[in-house]
Amino acid sequence: MRPLQGDGEAVNVRDALKAVRREMFIPDEIFVRGEHGYLVPLHRKDAPGRWRKHVDGDEPVVTRVRRDPAIPAELCDPATGRGMNSTSSSSAPSLMVEMIEALELEPGMRVLEIGTGTGYNAALLAHMLGSENVVSVEIDAQVADRARDALGRAEYPVQVITGNGERGYAAGAPYDRIIVTAAAHTVPYAWVEQTRPGGVILVPWAETVHPDGRLARLVVQPDGVAEGRFIGQAFFMPLRDQRLLPRVGYEAEERWKQDGRPDFTRYGITVGADGQSVWLDFPGNVVIGAEMA
């Protein structure tokens, strides 16, 4: 492990991507789209070439699935993938690079990651900043255990906390940066409280104001308010407690059309102790208040 360059400057994320092998964090069994579009298991020993192609490619790799609770159990079949949903994955490396670059990391910064997943993203952060400066929270105990083991084998002993990421991890605060690897429609104020003034919260946003998944970058102000805008595109599975009904996305698209199909960069978010608002062009032009988000 070599988190810092010899001249004291942090290695950038592209250097980290070359140094940290993704395959060390991907389980032997992954899930890929089958003939009917369902997620079917693919095991490394059965198809090593196909497994390698997925892992080495610039695409998300699904690493864990479970039965869709909305579908009767008798209609679900893990072997064919029918009725199975993705619950954990490794993001496309290009998106990981984009998000980490948006953090604008500097040597000595402390980062909280919400959603450990495979641990690969945490390893990249640890390579850049040192493992002691990275904390990651994962709600799925099995996923957390596996990520913890993988990080240990790769010699990036990041502290992995098994728990609800919406609470953050106060024991390790304050943080200079928080990076979220699941979509949210409401920013828990715990994240703001646990971030230093001037610090950044980077969170994928659910489709509540724009028909596409977007990435929000918020800066925490000295008065305890976090504010920022959408800066790019990012599709992620939702935080476990922030799933939305399909009608919400439909309503968001209709509202977006009625507003004249504004570019996503015109939208912003303000988060305070008393709630949040999503606005268009300026904070006073509220599109969605806290009670609707």
Q: Catalytic site residues? A: 91
Chain Cα centroid distance, residue 108: 22
Encoding tokens for residue 235? 């599709």
State whether residue 212 is helix, strand or coil. Answer: coil
Compute the distance between CA of residue 127 and CA of residue 17 in angstroms, rounded to an integer: 9
Encoding tokens for residue 264? 């996503």
Alpha helices in 180-263 (DSSP H): 189-193, 246-258
Half-sphere exposure of 114 (CA within 13 A, CB side): 30
Name 268's Cβ contacts closer than 8 Å, sequence gap at least 6: 227, 228, 229, 230, 278, 279, 280, 282, 283
